[in-house]
Amino acid sequence: MVWLLRLQERRVACPKTTRFHSMARWSTFLFLLLSLAGQAQRIAFEYDTRPTIELAGRTLPNAWAGGLNACQFATLPLDADARPDLVVFDRVTSRISTFLATTGPNNALFWQHAPQYERLFPTIGNWFYLVDYDGDGRKDLFASAPSGIQVWRNATPANGTLAWQLVTPSLQTDALSGIRSNVYVAGPDTPAITDLDGDGDVDVVAFDPTGNQAVYYQNLSKQRTNAAAPAGLDFRTEPGCWGRFRKEFCNDFTANADCAATGGRQGDPNGRPNHTGNTIRLQDVDGDGKPELIFGYVDCNNLSVLHNTGPSNQNAAFTRFEYDFPKQNPVRFASFPAAFFDDLDGDGLTDMVASPNVYVNERGLFDFRSTNHFYRNAGTATAPDFQLVRTDFLQSDMLDLGENAAPVLADLDGDGDLDLLVGNGGVPLANGFRASLWQFENKGTTSNPAFSLVTTDYLGLTTTDSLTYLRPTFADLDGNGSLDLVLSGFSKTGSVLRWLPNSAAKGAAMRFTPATARSLTLSDGYSAASPVLFTDFDADGKADLLVSGSAGNISYYRNSGSVSEPAFTLVTDRFAGFDFAFDNRNASLALTDVNGDNQKRLMLATRTGQLRVYKLASQPTQAATLLDTLGTLPTAGLNPILATGDLSGDGLPDLVLGSLAGGLRYVRNTSDKVSAVLAVEPVSTWAFPNPTNRYVTIRAPHGGQVEVISIDGRTVLTPIRVGAHIDQPLDLGTLSSGVYLLRLSAADQPTKVSRVVLGR
């Protein structure tokens, strides 16, 4: 803005300039101004961890890690120190989380959340496995593919940034039929990938399509090539069922099974596939030099250990079974446990962590705040002794409400800064699976927030309501200037959309009474799976409603009620051109001025976790324009919930993302901020006469708010509200002579500007 200041100084230094030349100069100035306004502005966000969150007097060291539910664990060096760091994949959210190995109190190993590495991983689902297949000393990535395995080679340059190179989208094997086919792994399963025969390349063990017997895929890359050559991926399917055992149901193992090479129970005419769901790990847990098979099943709540009594690993025979592993404090989950082995406390010994292998919290049986059971190896490398240390490994260091965290930012206590209110999907309580609202007070400042937990049951909803999947938001629905609380969720009778009037004055600490809650009724029904957004789209002073649909569309409901009694009428179920789109199903919505240009943009958090920014058209049925997909921002996981508010004090809205895993991510807005005087559309004429010596008449092209702005960007009169195409006088008599901009703005409408010359 230096050139602007110099232009002002030149005007003061030349008082004898004629009015004609002055007007010409101002015309040139406005032309430059509007040219700058037309230039594209950078929209950017990045993960940040600076706002603190305190629970029960403890500041959470990984507060914004986003929560964890059903996890898989592996170590891999992420930074330049070559120390093994931790990579966690959450099956519920399909999200990778990364943690650096750091030194904590008492020189103990501490896993520090490091989100900057998460975007370096490819998008995966179901399961992952890190193992060095090519012998270069770097772990490669094996991950789920449709009914198979995809392989990514670790292509990280020396002292460089982690990088992956796709080797194959579907790992192939020489099948028993003599043709090539995929190495089969069912999506719900997890395989074992290790050098089973000791020849220097990795083999695969996985269950067959029936889900009842294990198949050994032997890697022959060393046998079929020069043994000194790097190991590769050259597989052959071995006949029969590996380990000579079968299973069909929970803890239903049959030893010395006679399995046909094509699968199925030999001689059993009733042999049939059971529904799949098998987790396996190969780990020597009894010190005999041969790996045991650690097994979890979709219908079991326990881990079993199958002992190999055969002559070798490739010719294994599992004849002895234990149904409780480990023996002390055995793993117990509601269903489908899985085990992972690695050195997780930095003592050089292999520990174990167990977690459920589920996709959803079926029947609400899991408390997803505590589903990572860490067993420290208190024994030796050859005689491990797994002792339960904690059931919330990593989870205890982050904010974790269980599942489906739904945040909203608002000044709850009336002290002028933004507090935090978070709903969740629910946790198992004595009275059933219940959702609640967690209230956090901002004890910091407007630019340096510090959130402290006040209560995990704001308004006591767990005792008065049997609600699940609570989502709070705020809107002034009774027209008194204070924000009311809107809650959506599921009850025993169906979906709920209700609002609680705020009985406090504007700017005071909010007061809500659950008994005063009122239902909001929509003409075509409502599902609590659909996020809602309130905004005055038609600029009539009443909050309208946007509903994000299960088909990927957005419905626009106009508030056809009174200022104090809302009533919503469907205008279109294709708002802004959003039609059926799988990725946009139940997308979370926000409407905010992303870069300070006084233009509210629509933000979408898609089903896959991508954030998108759209420019809305002037009419609800006109298609929105995609401005940015924020492609450099790592995914927040499936189905994040958006909350916006300025937490850094820079005048730009930051984001708090609620995770399906029950935690939060803080995303700081680093966009290029547009100066207020540059935030304009091309000048139009809707104020007259011009020039004027005092009064102008405003005939606005649409309803909204009119501001009078000086050339240095200051708002110089109290903004007024105007209606569309209605003449309204405006008195400029208190202002000095000069050129002013009248800026008309409204939610979801393009900003309009009219220039007025005031002379005496």
Q: How confident is the model at residue 275 (pLDDT cuts 50, 70, 90)?
A: low
Q: Looking at domain 687-758, does it have CATH number 2.60.40?
A: yes
pLDDT per residue as tens digits for the range 191-224:
999 999 999 999 999 999 999 999 999 999 988 8
68-263+274-397 carries CATH number 2.115.10: yes
Q: Is the pLDDT of residue 270 over 70?
A: no
pLDDT score for 637:
86
Mean pLDDT of 119-126: 95
Digit-coded pLDDT (tens) for 432-458: 999 999 999 999 999 999 999 999 999
Q: Angle at CA 503, nearest 5°, toward 500 and 508?
A: 115
**Distance between CA atoms of residues 623 and 576, nearest Å:** 4
Cα-to-chain-centroid distance, residue 513: 31
The residue type of 720 is I
pLDDT in tens, 454-474: 999 999 999 988 999 999 999
Same CATH fold assignment for domains 68-263+274-397 and 406-669: yes
User: What pLDDT score does 711 carry?
Assistant: 75
Please give the sequence-ordered ranges of beta strands (E in DSSP) within 506-573, or none if there are none: 518-519, 532-535, 544-548, 554-559, 568-572
How far is C-alpha 336 from the chain's CA centre? 24
CA 54 to CA 631: how far, in whole Å? 31
Q: State pTM to two decimals.
A: 0.85
Task: Encode pLDDT of 280-295 as tens digits.
Answer: 999 999 999 999 999 9
Residue range 98-113: mean pLDDT, rounded:
95
Domain ranges of the chain: 68-263+274-397, 406-669, 687-758
Mean pLDDT, rounded, of the chain: 89
How far apart, in whole angstroms, are the C-alpha atoms of residue 614 and residue 649? 24
Higher pLDDT: 350 or 80? It is 350
Give the SS3 label for residue 139.
coil
Strands (E), 185-285: 192-194, 203-207, 214-219, 235-237, 245-247, 253-255, 278-283
Q: What backbone phi and psi angles, to 5 degrees, belong to 635?
A: -65, 145
Q: Are 405 and 422 in contact (CB under 8 A)?
A: yes
* Mean per-residue pLDDT, 491-517: 95
Give me the CATH code for the 406-669 domain, please.
2.115.10
pLDDT digits (tens, 9 = 90+) for 290-327: 999 999 999 999 999 999 999 999 899 999 999 999 99
Which residues neighbour 259 within 8 Å (Cβ) at sequence distance 6 or greater?
213, 240, 241, 244, 246, 265, 266
Q: What is the pLDDT of residue 672?
A: 87
